[in-house]
Every structure is written in C-alpha cells, then in structure tokens.
C-alpha cells in the first residue's frame, strides 16, 4: 500500500485538506488523540541568556505556536514577547549593555539564517540586521564593546567565522575552515576570538583556534594533546584564560588554558560526572560552575580553580537542566543567584531561580498539566558484547497487562534520551502505548569512550544494541511481545529505516521521521558542515564506499516486512527529502505496505506546534491501525 499526502491545512476537526476532496461532515477525534494534541501543545521553554544587569531572563518558547523569544523579570512576573511572527528563532544573545537582543531566524525550515536585533525592553518590533548569502548560522556572541558580533556558520563550500558590524550588518570573513566550527568567544579586551574548530582529519578531534578580529595575526591552534576533542566555553572575566572541555586524558574533563603563560590545569569534576553539557566562569573568576551528567540526570556544582575547596553541589530539582542549546544555566553578574530551565520525562519545562544565599529555589514560569502523564523507570540491559546499555522504560497511567510497545531511538547520534521533557514520548503514553528509549552506543552522557563507539561504524554495533533492546522488551510482562513498533526521528529515523531492512523480523510496525536512507546521496547534497558531520562517522565516500553502501537502507529495501510510515519535511537541509522519496519509490515498486507524508513548509529541528500535532497524531493513528492498543 502506498499513500502520499500533502498536508495543506488543519481545521477544528483535524481534517487534512487534500485537493479534490470535499468534507461535508465533521470527523470525530478519539479521546486519546485529544490527549496527544494536548501533550504536544504543552509549552516548551528554555533559558537562552541573562542580562548583564541581572534583571531579565531571555528564553526560547513555543507558547505562540512557533519558537520565539520571550523575556521575564527574574523577580517574577509574566513572559512577554521579544521576537514575533511564525518563523523560528535559532540562537540569541543579549548585548553587554543589557539593552539589545540579537537573534538568528530561520525561514521555512531551510536553515538559511539572517540576524535580527530588537530592544530588550518591551514594545518594539525586530529589525533585520544582516543580508548574508545562503548561510547556516550556528551561534554567535557580542563583542564586549557591543560594536561587533562574531558569527560561526557554514555555506555550501566552507565553514567560516565572520565579524558583523552591529550598527549596519556589514560582515567580514576572518576565518575559513573546510570542516565544522562553532562558539566564537571574544576575549575581555576584544583583541582575540576563540572558536572551536575541526582542523585535522582525525574523526573526533576538535581544536581551539585563536583568531584576530582585525586579521592582523595568523590563527593560532591549541590542543592539549593531538587528536583530542576540545570545546570552549568562555574567557576569564579579566584574565587571558580560556575554560574548555577536553578528552585529552581519555575522559571528559574541564580545564583552564592560560594563553599568557601557556599553563594548563584541570578541574576535579571528572569524579562527579561523565560529561559536562554546561560550564562557565563565576563572575569573580575564582571559580567555575558546571552541570555534571550521570545516567540521564544532571547536578550543578561550583568549584574553585585553585583546588582550595572541593566542588560544592547546588541542590536543584531532580531532572535534566542542560536543555538543547547548552545555555540553560546562567549566573547573575552579582554572583547572588542562578537562573535555570529544567524538566524531567514526566514534568514539563520550568524556568526557575536559585538564591545562593538562602538556598531557595523560586519558580519563575511553569506549566501545570492535568494530563495522565506516564512515569519513567531507569533500565539497564546487556547488549551483544556484554556492554551495559542504559535507557528509560515508560508506561501509561493505570496500565494492566501487556501492551504494544514503541521502541524509540533518539536523534543525533551524539545525543541522548535524558530525564528531560519529551512531548513525543509522552504522546505515545497518553495514547496507551508503553515505550522504551535506550541510549545505544554513540549516545552522549555516558563518557567519551561510549560516545565514540559508533565512529566509522554507524549502523553497525549500535544497530545490534537496538536488536538487544527489542529482545529485552519482549521479556517484560507489561509488553505484548508480538506488537513492537520501531519509531525514531533524524538519526532515529535512519535507524528505523535500517533496522526494518537489516533485522526485519522484530517489528510489527514502524515510523521514520526525517530519516536517512542513502548516506552517499546525503553527503552529495550536504553543505560543508554536514559533509564534516558525515565524515566523522563514515569517512569520505571515496574512502569507504562499502560502509556507505552497507548502512544505507535504499540498498536493502526488499527486506522490509513491517508496515512503515515515512514522515518527512520538504525543506529539510540536514536529511534532504530526495533520497527518502527515492526510497519510497522503491518500496512502491516492491509492493511494500507503507505510507508517506510530507510537510512542505518545515525543515529539520524545532517545528511549529501545529505541524507536530499533525505528525504525532498521524503516527499514533498509523500504529493503532497496524498493531492497535486499548484506549
């Protein structure tokens, strides 16, 4: 079976508008699909920045139906809009004088960004600052004088750093690199910019590169050890020292490099966590704060850089505090309080403030839900080689007996299902499905060695972890072993495509969202940044043609057995539509049972809420039709 539908509109009865089809009677929606819609419509919020005067928190939220900026007084009050419209915001920073916000905006999901500025105070519309050629903007930062902005991004040909005049938007390229780079940070006197860049052919190496904004000096590359991975956070408040994360000693650690004396020192946080998704200087420059990760949850610590005291934990609510952008914990310039966003798998996102003097947590913004949200159980199962794989098993409220189970594979692959709010996961629970989300090898949060296990083996041993996850959930009394559905997005979509061709007998149904079916064609269609991304896991196509072939589902479509829903987006520049359309054509030629839907006005990443509602209603209706579940 083959069906392609172009989603044009959504009326109050959830009717897909298809050319030539006239609906005269309303279509009633099942109660559980109403729950699904309400879960997806739960507002998301993540801290982006804190003004230097300590008065205003800047957050990204989809409460208006698309991801826009909102501001909030740190003493409490209501969120107020900062950016406007329906085109999503990708990154934002408050100027050092606390007066302006610069943000990047995407158009139609194509990830061809422009920068905009808007006063932080209420009442004015944003103005477009730049007229960049087709550029995927990663992130940027204001200079300390607020007269320039350093931007890291990619074109089709190369990755680059530009400086942008904040008064007129004129941009000047100051550095070009064949491979990925990100996070340009200005030194205190604005004489240097430190950026993290991949300057060698080693698959996991990243170096710190020091640039002259005026291009007066050649770039200086620093690494504590050849082929190590190093990612910067920021310059010391007053000294020429850089704080960064490194795996130079075989595990993730935080370190300080003094560029004036070339001294390197390490902090002690490696004893507290396997990774550090957020880390930055305290305002006095004598300490740093960081989030340490263990088994999908984070804890906040403050540690002096001179090792005069042991790291001190700051007690935050249990869950995950790192968010998506690595900006979700900020300390006031006075050093008196933290502002942070956090959530858990069963608690929607909240924006909070922690007072360092009183030790109290104050909620600034939260969403109360009366939905029957499922609860998460941490699980560890053994994979084919005896390696423990951590994940989360979730089931509906008041479940009795075995139910159909969704095996959910996260995106990335350098990502994880942490104990963080995920409306997609909860949508399956309120619809009556159990769900297992394993963090298979290659996931973040479990140390550098585990994270790099899929280098030049993406779709190999990690696929076997998926197979062992399927075996595990079939042993559970709360799962119907004949009704396992494989579902994933991005890398999870790739894994769904591949697993349904390589190990097809485990699945009763499947759904692949913005997935990958042909790595070679994807490489050819990618810009410089995503060519670098693919090379990390596969090398270049001419170097490893066999690997590219073996891990591309297009070459094994004849093996598909389970009904498959393909959900893709027309403007996706990371996982382009064309190879997936060819895969669908191949499935049709083979007479396979599948459906395909394309949302034409969206790309990869964060979506408009209405389109996400469509997506997860469609997936759950598809699973209900193929494997069914009780209401």
Annotated domain spans of the chain: 4-40+370-626
Fold of 4-40+370-626: Rossmann fold (3.40.50)
Query: What average pLDDT does this structure show over 290-294?
Result: 97
Percent of the chain with pLDDT over 90: 90
Q: Tell me how far apart the alpha carbons of residues 57 and 330 are, in angstroms, rounded to a whole number.
A: 9
Q: Does 543 score more than 60 pLDDT?
A: yes
Structure tokens at 22: 């006239």
Q: Cβ contacts of residue 271 below 8 Å, gap of 6+?
A: none
pLDDT at 202: 97
Q: How far apart, in Å, are the Cα atoms of 254 and each of 139, 222, 233, 243?
A: 21, 15, 10, 7
Our measurement of the distance from residue 33's CA atom to the centroid of its chain's CA atoms, rounded to an integer in Å, reads: 26
Please, what is the end-to-end C-alpha distance for the chain in angstroms? Answer: 26
Query: What average pLDDT does this structure show over 395-400?
Result: 89
Q: Does 18 score more than 50 pLDDT?
A: no
User: Smallest Cα–Cα separation from 203: which of 575, 451, 459?
Assistant: 451
Q: Tell me how far apart the alpha carbons of residues 325 and 140 are, in angstroms, rounded to a whole number.
A: 12
pLDDT at 14: 32
Can you spell out the DSSP letters for 71-111? Answer: EEETT----EESS-SSSPEEEEEE-TTSSEEEEEE-STTS-
Q: Does 62 score more than 90 pLDDT?
A: yes
pLDDT at 12: 26
Q: How far apart, in Å, are the Cα atoms of 498 and each of 127, 577, 622?
A: 45, 17, 20
User: In the chain, helix, strand, coil percent, each to 5?
Assistant: 20, 35, 45
β-pair partners for 77: none
DSSP state of 188: T
β-pair partners for 88: none
Other beta carbons less than 10 A from residue 607's beta carbon: 22
Percent of the chain with pLDDT over 70: 95
pLDDT tens figures, 303-359: 999 988 999 999 999 999 998 998 999 999 999 999 999 999 999 999 999 999 999
pLDDT at 27: 47
Other beta carbons less than 10 A from residue 433's beta carbon: 29
Q: Tell me how far apart the alpha carbons of residues 209 and 184 are, in angstroms, rounded to a whole number.
A: 9
Q: Cβ contacts of residue 407 below 8 Å, gap of 6+?
A: 435, 436, 438, 466, 469, 470, 473, 484, 485, 486, 487
Query: What average pLDDT does this structure show over 44-70?
Result: 97
Query: What average pLDDT does this structure show over 95-115?
Result: 96
Enclosing H/E stretch for 38: helix 31-40
User: Smallest Cα–Cα separation from 187: which of 241, 254, 146?
Assistant: 241
Structure tokens at 562: 């389970």
List phi, psi (to 5°) of 71.
-115, 155
pLDDT at 29: 55
Query: What average pLDDT does this structure show over 416-420?
Result: 97
Our measurement of the distance from residue 590's CA atom to the centroid of its chain's CA atoms, rounded to an integer in Å, reads: 35
pLDDT tens figures, 437-490: 999 999 999 999 999 999 999 999 999 999 999 999 999 999 999 999 999 999
- Residue carrying the six token digits 């200079």: 143
Identify the three-state secondary structure at position 471: helix
Other beta carbons less than 10 A from residue 400's beta carbon: 8
pLDDT tens figures, 488-526: 999 999 999 999 999 999 999 999 999 999 999 999 999
Measured over the CA atoms of residue 486, residue 489, residue 495 and residue 496, the dihedral's sign is: positive
User: Smallest Cα–Cα separation from 161: which of 95, 208, 226, 225?
Assistant: 208
Contact (CB, 8 A) for 175 and 219: yes
pLDDT at 76: 87
Burial of residue 154, with CB atoms counted within 10 A of its CB: 0-12 exposed, 13-18 middle, 19 or more buried: buried
pLDDT tens figures, 170-188: 999 999 999 999 999 999 9
Structure confidence at residue 232 as a pLDDT band (50, 70, 90): confident
* Omega within 30 of 0 (cis) for the link into 495: no
Q: Cβ contacts of residue 9 below 8 Å, gap of 6+?
A: 16, 17
Q: Does 618 score more than 90 pLDDT?
A: yes
Contact (CB, 8 A) for 100 and 94: yes
pLDDT at 21: 33
β-pair partners for 329: 340
Q: Cβ contacts of residue 589 below 8 Å, gap of 6+?
A: none
Structure confidence at residue 118 as a pLDDT band (50, 70, 90): very high
Q: How far apart, in Å, are the Cα atoms of 620 and each of 34, 427, 429?
A: 12, 8, 10
User: Smallest Cα–Cα separation from 577: which of 556, 563, 598, 558?
Assistant: 598
Q: Tell me how far apart the alpha carbons of residues 390 and 376 are, in angstroms, rounded to a whole number.
A: 13
Q: In whole numbers, what is the pLDDT of the chain averaged over residues?
A: 93
Identify the three-state secondary structure at position 364: strand
User: Smallest Cα–Cα separation from 151: which of 124, 179, 128, 172?
Assistant: 172
Q: Tell me how far apart the alpha carbons of residues 201 and 551 are, in angstroms, rounded to a whole number.
A: 22
Q: Tell me how far apart the alpha carbons of residues 442 and 85 are, in angstroms, rounded to a whole number.
A: 37
């Amino acid at each position: 079976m083959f069906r392609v539908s172009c989603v044009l509109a959504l009326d109050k009865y959830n009717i897909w508008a298809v050319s030539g089809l006239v609906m005269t009677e309303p279509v009633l929606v099942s109660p559980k699909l109403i729950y699904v819609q309400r879960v997806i419509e739960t507002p998301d919020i993540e801290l982006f920045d804190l003004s230097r005067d300590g008065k205003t928190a800047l957050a990204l939220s989809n409460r208006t139906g698309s991801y826009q900026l909102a501001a909030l007084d740190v003493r409490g009050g209501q969120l107020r809009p900062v950016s406007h419209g329906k085109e999503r915001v990708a990154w934002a920073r408050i100027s050092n004088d606390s007066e302006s916000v610069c943000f990047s905006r995407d158009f139609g999901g194509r990830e061809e960004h422009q920068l905009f500025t808007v006063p932080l105070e209420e009442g004015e519309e944003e103005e477009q600052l730049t007229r960049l050629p087709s550029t995927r903007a990663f992130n940027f930062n204001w200079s300390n004088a607020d007269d320039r902005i350093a931007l890291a991004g990619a074109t089709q040909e190369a990755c680059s750093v530009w400086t942008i005049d904040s008064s007129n938007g004129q941009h000047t390229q100051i550095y070009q690199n064949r491979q990925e780079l990100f996070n340009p940070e200005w030194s205190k006197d604005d004489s240097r910019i430190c950026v993290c860049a991949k300057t060698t052919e080693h698959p996991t190496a990243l170096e710190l590169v020091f640039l002259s904004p005026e291009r007066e000096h050649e770039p200086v590359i620093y690494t504590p050890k050849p082929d190590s991975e190093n990612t910067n956070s920021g310059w010391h408040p007053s000294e020429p020292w850089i704080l960064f994360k490194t795996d130079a000693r075989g595990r993730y650690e935080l370190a300080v490099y003094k560029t004036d004396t070339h001294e390197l020192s390490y902090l002690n946080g490696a004893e507290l966590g396997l990774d550090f998704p957020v880390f930055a200087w305290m305002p006095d420059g004598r300490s740093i704060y960081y989030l340490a990760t263990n088994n999908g949850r984070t804890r906040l610590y403050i540690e002096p850089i001179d090792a005069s005291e042991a790291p001190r934990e700051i007690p935050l609510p249990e869950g995950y505090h790192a968010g998506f952008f690595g900006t979700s914990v900020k300390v006031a310039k006075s050093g008196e309080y933290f502002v942070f966003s956090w959530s858990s798998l069963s608690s929607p996102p909240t924006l909070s403030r922690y007072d360092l003097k009183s030790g109290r947590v104050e909620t600034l913004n939260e969403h109360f839900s009366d939905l029957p949200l499922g609860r998460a159980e941490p699980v560890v199962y053994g994979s084919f080689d005896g390696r423990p794989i951590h994940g989360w098993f979730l089931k509906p409220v008041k479940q009795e007996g075995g139910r159909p189970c969704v095996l959910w594979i996260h995106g990335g692959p350098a990502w994880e299902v942490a104990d963080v709010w995920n409306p997609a996961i909860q949508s399956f629970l309120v619809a009556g499905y159990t769900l297992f989300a394993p963090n298979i090898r290659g996931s973040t949060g479990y140390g550098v060695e585990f994270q790099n296990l899929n280098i030049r083996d993406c779709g190999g041993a990690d696929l076997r972890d998926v197979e062992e996850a399927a075996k595990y959930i079939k042993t559970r009394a709360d799962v119907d072993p004949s009704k396992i559905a494989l579902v994933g997005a991005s890398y999870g979509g790739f894994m769904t495509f591949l697993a349904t061709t390589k190990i097809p007998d485990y699945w009763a149904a499947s759904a692949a969202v913005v997935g990958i079916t042909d790595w070679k064609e994807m490489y050819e269609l990618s810009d410089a940044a995503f060519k670098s991304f693919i090379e990390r896991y596969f090398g270049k196509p001419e170097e490893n043609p066999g690997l590219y072939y073996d891990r591309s589902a297009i070459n094994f479509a004849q093996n598909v057995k389970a009904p498959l829903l393909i959900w893709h987006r027309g403007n996706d520049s990371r996982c382009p539509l064309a190879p997936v359309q060819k895969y669908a054509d191949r499935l049709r030629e083979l007479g396979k049972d599948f459906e395909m839907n394309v949302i034409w006005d969206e790309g990869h990443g964060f979506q408009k809420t209405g389109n996400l509602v469509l997506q997860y209603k469609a997936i759950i209706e598809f699973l209900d039709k193929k494997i069914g579940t009780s209401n």
